[in-house]
Amino acid sequence: MTQVFNPPVRTLMGPGPADVNPRILSALARPTIGHLDPEFVRMMDEVKRMLQSAFQTKNALTLPISAPGSAGMEACFVNLLEAGDKAIVCQNGVFGGRMKENVERCGATAIMVEDDWGKPVDPNKLEAALQANPDAKVVAFVHAETSTGVQSDAETLCRLAAAHDCLTIVDCVTSVGGTEVAIDRWGADAVYSGTQKCLSCVPGISPVSFSDKAVAAINARSTKVQSWFLDMGLVMGYWGENTKRAYHHTAPVNTLYSLHEALLILEEEGLENAWARHREHHTALVAGLEAMGLSMVVDADCRLPQLNVVSVPAGVDEAAVRATLLADYNLEIGAGLGPLAGKVWRIGLMGFACNKTNVLFCLGSLEQVLREQGADIVAGSAQGAARAAYAG
Amino acid sequence: MTQVFNPPVRTLMGPGPADVNPRILSALARPTIGHLDPEFVRMMDEVKRMLQSAFQTKNALTLPISAPGSAGMEACFVNLLEAGDKAIVCQNGVFGGRMKENVERCGATAIMVEDDWGKPVDPNKLEAALQANPDAKVVAFVHAETSTGVQSDAETLCRLAAAHDCLTIVDCVTSVGGTEVAIDRWGADAVYSGTQKCLSCVPGISPVSFSDKAVAAINARSTKVQSWFLDMGLVMGYWGENTKRAYHHTAPVNTLYSLHEALLILEEEGLENAWARHREHHTALVAGLEAMGLSMVVDADCRLPQLNVVSVPAGVDEAAVRATLLADYNLEIGAGLGPLAGKVWRIGLMGFACNKTNVLFCLGSLEQVLREQGADIVAGSAQGAARAAYAG
């Protein structure tokens, strides 16, 4: 007979899911009601309104897709692209590559603008690609690359795209709640995000937002959206402003309770305060890591405070370090991906997990395990450096 | 400032979500761990094994899609069909129509086999369609039509399809856990289901199972699956037997805890006992409804015990009855859809919600509200008839 699954209690400081706020776990377990219940519809309206605040947008078409961030990404591509279209995809990490897959599976052509992993998207390269491809319909890029810890300048990239009459698709999975996302000021047209990063919520749904220009492009399509499940025209029948909600699919009721609670917590803290908190703890973590003698991979001016990518010291078995941290400290940090695999760790400071206790615990644990591994580090200085950083 | 959302405590006797077992709500709130955590991977293996039992299959490719049943449906169609293919779709309710949409959005052709809403799929019509379309690749039908309360003979339909070298796609969203689903005995090739019906779990994920023949067809595709998120080849990299799970998307960790608990509860009860329980309470509910003078829409030999479709008596405002039940009794029953809209109610007895208390509460509440509406019913006999049915 199978046994009840009681998960270990971890500290989640990887690339996500991050530690979930206990208030959010409690919200998740509230009694399930129907997805057409008037009380549920009222809650949906609040979720939409709070998402608009988190995204800093007035876009009416702002709602959570009932599936993870990958499906949010796909929703943006399949709704904006048709077979034969051309999209410029800026790649500087894993998720740009996934965007290319999405473009091609729509029967469209992807023009790739490549930057090194660990560097932001270069606006000059995008401008050159826009000039070389006047028939491009869409520009897609990742605001916060979870695979490398880099933030790109979304506002500049969106303005360049708009100047060439392109719609923009922007991945804000890891940024929302941690660093500023400003859809309306940027002029971004289709944005998707995740819940399990800086919103401190459980994984499984993906907030998206479409500008009026994007909605007009969807309405002007000559073919149906290839995904029935992700067809925004149909999704809107359920999430829209109409008083009678049309059944499209059964919403993930309890997961939406948890998103409601997560957005409420963000509203209570305030966006600016949340961003400042991420910067504060990031600064302390970096002070500690550097005091230990470790080096950050990403230049300071484009580092994501919520995802800290640090080089593995020479001669250290990075997987063994992560395994020991997990087994003996119940602490999860992330591995590198792609060209960074084996070379870096990714230390998340996301949402609820972004706090002083986690910073000090992570530094102390990592230092001890690195010493056991015989790494050439400066012993005994990490936590002190972090505490000094906190003291200002 | 937004307020915390505290949902009302309802009794969910509509078409789903159904009442969630409190054990499952508790499981949902357990601490989140990483989607690549070794403990999580171990739990995933147990989920796969218990799903195989629930589906009565040895299919290796049996796992939950990280999105609702509609996405499970889409996963089956986009993986088995390519542009230019032909699929025979049997329609006897809402979900057959949705299958047609899926076929067409794959660039394939749908040959429709129509039966009246409230009737099962007619095997003779399917046989005629198979003979008229020797180039069909897929036959799709709904085992348990949630819109009408009808069960079709999946075994016969699958055998007909196999005899004509067609793959089958079978919708078991409402059947699994309530009536028998026997993938291997049927010879079904791609089956999708839901969690929020007879598994008494929260909505948001969709168990699917693909036969070896279906996997071979996927491997023999000449084009990529149009959905990146639902590409089973990629999903298997994460859910497969390999010891090193490849990151595909972030799994809905907590919702998977709840599915694990739901499947454990089903394992503890036993499949046959669960089906017998659904029949027992269905029999009592029907006895009560008929004693009241209401009539069942579906013939007894193909009625779904878990979804009881009953005619609205003449002159009764069906929406007002549902609204009163919801407002004053916190009891949700379902409305009719499509041609049955306004004419029927759909009363679910699904999983945990399928119990004597709910049957008696529903009969008593419905009788009172119908009397207040001036309906021409036999007063005072419903609960007694149900209790007599229980007494045997």
Give B243-271 pLDDT, tens digit per residue: 567 889 999 999 999 999 999 999 999 99
For residues A83-110, average pLDDT: 97
Contacts of residue B267 in chain A, CB cutoff 8 Å? 1-2
Angle at A151 between CA A147 and CA A152, to 5 degrees: 115
- What does pLDDT average to over chain B? 97
Instruction: Give the pLDDT score at B241.
Output: 74
CB within 8 Å: B105 and A224:
yes
Residue B230 banded pLDDT, cuts 50, 70, 90 = very high
Which of B159, B32, B242 lies closest to A351 in space, CA to CA? Answer: B32
All residues of chain B having their beta carbon less than 8 Å from the beta carbon of residue A351 are none
The answer, yes or no, to whether residue A242 has pLDDT greater than 70, is: no
Ordered by start, the domain boundaries in chain A are: 21-267, 270-391
- Cβ <8 Å between A25 and B26: no
Residue-wise over B201-214: b if at least 16 C-beta within 10 A, else e?
A: bbbbbbbbbbbeeb
The model's pLDDT over B149-167, given as tens digits with 9 standing for 90+, comes to 999 999 999 999 999 999 9
In this prediction, residues B169-188 reach a mean pLDDT of: 98
**What is the per-residue pLDDT for A93?**
96
CB A347 within 8 A of CB A333: yes
Distance between CA atoms of residues A119 and A297, nearest Å: 9
pLDDT at A1 over 90: no
Task: Fill in the DSSP letter of residue A302.
Answer: G
- In A219-278, the residues whose Cβ lies within 8 Å of chain B are 224-229, 247-255, 257, 260-261, 263-264, 267-268
Q: Which residues of chain B make contact with A353, given a CB cutoff of 8 A?
A: none
Contacts of B272 (CB under 8 A, 6+ apart): none
How far, in whole angstroms, is CA B254 from its chain's centroid?
21
- Token pair for residue A238? 């359920």
| A98 annotated to a ligand binding site | no
φ, ψ of residue A329 to 5 degrees: the values are -115, -5
Runs of H (alpha helix) within chain B: 22-28, 38-55, 69-80, 94-105, 123-132, 154-163, 183-186, 212-219, 232-239, 253-269, 271-291, 318-329, 356-372, 382-391
Contact A105 B6 (CB under 8 A): no
**CATH number among 2.40.30.20, 3.40.640.10, 3.50.50.60, 3.40.50.720, domain A21-267:** 3.40.640.10
For residue A326, list chain B residues with Cβ-Cβ distance below 8 A.
37-38
Residue from A133, A123, A121 nearest A88 by CA? A133
pLDDT, position A87: 98
Over the stretch B275-312, which tens digit does the pLDDT of each residue have? Answer: 999 999 999 999 999 999 999 999 999 999 999 999 99
Q: Which 312-331 residues of chain A touch chain B by CB within 8 A?
A: 326
Q: Which residues of A103-141 are buried (b: 16+ CB within 10 A; e: fewer)?
A: bbbbbbbbbebebebbbbbbbeebbebbeebeebbbbbb
C-beta atoms of B67 and A9 within 8 A: no
B1 confidence band (pLDDT: 50, 70, 90): confident
Query: For the segment B9-63, what is each residue's pLDDT rounded down to a tens digit?
Result: 999 999 999 999 999 999 999 999 999 999 999 999 999 999 999 999 999 999 9
Write the DSSP string, B105-129.
Answer: HTT-EEEEEE--TTS---HHHHHHH
Facing B66 at nearest CB: one of A68, A228, A260: A68
Minimal CA separation from B81 to chain A, in Å: 13
Q: What confidence tier does A236 reach under pLDDT thresholds 50, 70, 90?
A: confident
Which residues does chain A have within 8 Å of residue B6's beta carbon, measured at their own beta carbons?
Answer: 30
Tally A–B CB contacts below 8 A. 253
Q: What is the pLDDT of residue A243?
A: 58
Asked if B105 and A50 come within 8 Å (Cβ–Cβ), the reply is: no
What was the pLDDT predicted at B56?
A: 98
Q: What is the mean pLDDT of residues A98-124?
A: 98
Q: Which helix (H) or strand (E) holds B15?
A: none
- A18-22, A241-245, B182-186, B218-222: which range is least confident on average? A241-245
Whether residue A66 lies within 8 A of chain B, CB to CB, comes out as yes
Section A5-34 average pLDDT: 97
Task: Answer positive or negative: Cα dihedral of B174, B180, B186, B189.
Answer: positive
Q: Identity (one letter) of the amino acid at B310?
A: V
* CA nearest neighbour of A66 among B322, B252, B368: B252
Q: What is the pLDDT of residues A70-89, one digit of tens each?
A: 999 999 999 999 999 999 99
Q: How far apart are CA A40 and CA B6, in angstroms?
A: 10
CATH class of the structural domain B270-391: alpha beta
Chain A within 8 Å of B104 (Cβ-Cβ)? yes
Q: How far is A48 from chain B, CA to nearest CA, in Å? A: 12
Determine the pLDDT at residue A63: 97
What is the percent of chain A with per-residue pLDDT over 90, rounded to a whole number? 96
Q: Which fold has domain B22-267?
A: Aspartate Aminotransferase; domain 2 (3.40.640)
Q: Is B2 on the interface with A (CB under 8 A)?
A: yes
Q: What is the ipTM of this complex?
A: 0.97
Q: Name the token pair of A9.
A: 């209690």
pLDDT above 90: residue B362: yes
